[in-house]
Amino acid sequence: MNILFIHQNFPGQFKFLAPALAARGHRVQALTMKTGQPHRWQGVELISYGVTRGTTAQVHPWVGCRLSMMSIMSHA
């Protein structure tokens, strides 16, 4: 099974679950905002991502937030 965790500070609350799933033979990947991390942690493939915020007047900054697809697509 393919499993994807999305957590800005991965592993966070998944620090036991994610490696356990990987140890059982599942393909486990995690999107994280942490940079400078190894590409693999306890059998889990780590993929860093970042966000950019729009500066449109009268729009909350998180509404204009876009996921950086470049790093995600390079790991597909």
Q: What are the tens digits of pLDDT across the range 34-60?
A: 888 789 999 999 999 887 765 667 666
How big is the CA angle at 9 (ends 74 and 55), to the nearest 5 degrees?
Answer: 70
The Cα–Cα gap between 74 and 76 comes to: 6
> What is the pLDDT, as a whole number, of residue 40?
95
Domain positions in the chain: 2-73
> What is the pLDDT, as a whole number, of residue 62?
60
